[in-house]
Chain A
């Protein structure tokens, strides 16, 4: 069974930083692109970032570009998201999401499996 388990969500002060992690299982992690998607509870979905199967290509949403960094460790079946310069608008449930494709040239083919998310709250 494909599974993604996110962790790292905490309450952080504005301007602060944190790192989210996601451990994947049940599929060949090294062959697929991965994404982060966030959702303010009760609101819509916002794509945050994509990383290709080998980490060679990354893409970011406009609202996080320059502040967030996506990375992966294929040996550990793990995906990460480094968040910096956080504002209240970054507070959300962050989902780790498997792509249908390998993410060659940073392209997505859709998102076929989602984790349950980890909650980030930005508050003083």
Chain B
């Protein structure tokens, strides 16, 4: 199975700052089938990005995704209070579908 590693584990930032989250795969992700999900406490995950760089419906353009092959990045350009959450990357190009362990973005 493809193992996803996310870094850092925790990112402590202030509102208005830029967040850069990394997701690295143990092998090439087919067709860049890489998604990012946001999860807040007590809530279900929410799709943020799919196909590495396609924003999901209703997601602010402050969110951008990039990367290909084995290295992917989610960038939040100017953090707003609602952005503080845990972010998971996921590869869905190869079965079994796998998730990374998550990056927690918390308020500094």
Contacts and interface: CB of A to CB of B under 8 A. Distances in A.
A108 interface: yes
Contacts of B100: 44
Interface in A74-101: 95, 100
A5 B37 CA distance: 20
A108 B97 CA distance: 8
Contact of B88 (A45, A107, A113): A45
A107 B1 CA distance: 15
B50 A100 contact: yes
A2 B102 CA distance: 26
Interface residues of B, number: 23
Given A100-B50, A109-B33, A109-B50, A44 B99 contact: yes
Q: Is the interface of B mostly helix, strand, loop or mixed?
A: loop
A51 to B, nearest CB: 13
A108 B33 CA distance: 9
Counting chain A residues whose Cβ lies within 8 A of the other chain, the interface size class is 20 to 34
Interface of B: 1, 33, 35, 37, 44-47, 50-51, 56-57, 88, 90, 92, 95-102
21 contacts: A44-B99, A44-B100, A45-B45, A45-B88, A45-B90, A45-B99, A46-B99, A47-B98, A47-B99, A62-B96, A95-B45, A108-B97, A110-B51, A110-B90, A111-B35, A111-B37, A112-B50, A113-B47, A114-B45, A115-B44, A117-B44
